[in-house]
Amino acid sequence: MANVWDVPSALLVAASGAPALATTSAGVAWSLGVADGDRIDRAVAIGRVGAIADAVHLPLSADIEGGFATSADGVGDTIRQVLEAGTVGVNVEDAAHHDGEPLRDPAGQAARIAAARAAADAAEIPLYINARTDTYLLAVGPASDRLRDTLDRAAAYLEAGADGIFVPGVADPTTITSLVDGIDAPLNILVGPGSPSVDELADLGVARVSLGSAVTLAAYALIGRGADELLRHGTYASLEGGLPYSDVNALLR
């Protein structure tokens, strides 16, 4: 998944031949002037997801962070809204962000996933719930306990109704193999520069790879380099290789 954050990025990824799309919550939030991490208004975020779904007729998975809600019932409401917006999948993460702990309690997070599944079942839509745990990304607890914690969380989330497990923050083949062997569902890994290749990850048993916010960050880095070069040196070489104006404009006609 080369994750997208607005209509042009979605159209470009679709034009590359992608069979499906997924949003990046960070990219969506940043492009709307809000920090990532359960800070964006739910209606605004879902509005952006709906715009992407309307523009690109491919299966779309929405990164809904922690569910844009403080309660399990609220997560169910979010699911009903993202389904109406045109999605067929979601990422739901267990990072707590504002609750004083790095991760939500596993039982509480399982209840939120169960509410998401119930909302999808009520709508009679086979929503793919990708349950994300940030045990490795946030380096939660002693390193020696991290694999066991991840596997326990994965089992609880699958029991609650998740279809797959997303574990960002891992790149070591040994750890990835342990996750594949210990999780009874498709495993999603976050990738970027320095990560094993897609073929290498497939050989390890990984089912899905996601670029997450990496493409958004690369695009913003180019903005910074272009502006810095212009203002410091009066030149423009860093902008070479940009897409033709006419090609991007044509995407939106």
pLDDT in tens, 4-52: 999 999 999 999 999 999 999 999 999 999 999 999 999 999 999 999 9
Q: How confident is residue 100, by pLDDT bands cut at 50, 70 and 90?
A: confident
Domains in the chain: how many in total?
1
Instruction: Give buried/exposed letters for 115-152 (b at 16+ CB in 10 A, else e).
Output: bbbbbbeeeeeebbbbbbbbbbbeebeeeeebbebbbe
Position with higher pLDDT, 129 vs 100 = 129
The answer to whether residue 68 scores a pLDDT higher than 80 is yes
Please determine, for residue 108, whether its predicted confidence score (pLDDT) is greater than 80: yes
Residues of the domain holding 160: 7-212
pLDDT digits (tens, 9 = 90+) for 73-86: 999 999 999 999 99
The CATH number assigned to the domain holding 175 equals 3.20.20.60
Give CA separation, 141 vs 87, 105, 131, 144, in Å.
Answer: 34, 13, 20, 8
pLDDT for the residue 98: 80
Burial class, 109, CB count within 10 angstroms (exposed 0-12 / middle 13-18 / buried 19+)? buried
Residue 125 lies in a domain: yes
pTM: 0.95
- Is 76 a domain residue? yes
**What's the CA dihedral at 143, 144, 150, 153 to 10 degrees?**
-110
